[in-house]
Structure 1
Amino acid sequence: MEGQSFEEISQRFAKIGTIDLRVDFLRPGLGKYFIATGTTLRTGNKVSVTRMELHDDKGTLIAVGTGSYLVG
C-alpha cells in the first residue's frame, strides 16, 4: 500500500467483509473523552488484520480489539 494514493486505498477497501472481530473490554468507559487508535498489522492480497485500542482521558487502556477483513 506504500506509494498508493488515498483514493486508490479507499477503492480497495470500499467493499470489505469482516472475517473476524473481537473486542475485549478491560475497564469501564468512564471519563470526559476517549482516544481510539488503530493500526494495520498486515495487509495481503485478500486479508487485512488490524488492532485497535481505546484509552480514557487519563490514558488508561479500557478496551482492545482485533479484526480480520476480506479486502481482495
Structure 2
Amino acid sequence: MSNLNQAVDFIKEIEKLKTVTRFNRTLDGRFENSAEHSWQCAVAAMVLQDFYPEKLNIEKVISMLLIH
C-alpha cells in the first residue's frame, strides 16, 4: 500500500469479512464466517508446512490464504 489512507481503507474493508457467513459448518455445528475460515487456513498452513515435501515460501502461502 502506498499510503496510510489506503491501508486504513483496506483494513476497514476486510472488517466486513466477519459478517460474510459461509455455508459450511464448524466442528461444533455452527456456520463460520469468512474471516474465521481464512484465519484457520493460514494457521493450518503454518502448522503443516514441515510435512510438505518441498520448501515453501510460507510467508507467501499465508498471505495468499488470508486474502483468498
Same fold at TM > 0.5: no
Give 1 or 2: higher helix fraction.
2
TM-score scaled by length of structure 1: 0.26
Give 1 or 2: higher strand fraction.
1
* Structure with higher RCO (Cα < 8 A, 6+ apart): 1
TM-score scaled by length of structure 2: 0.26
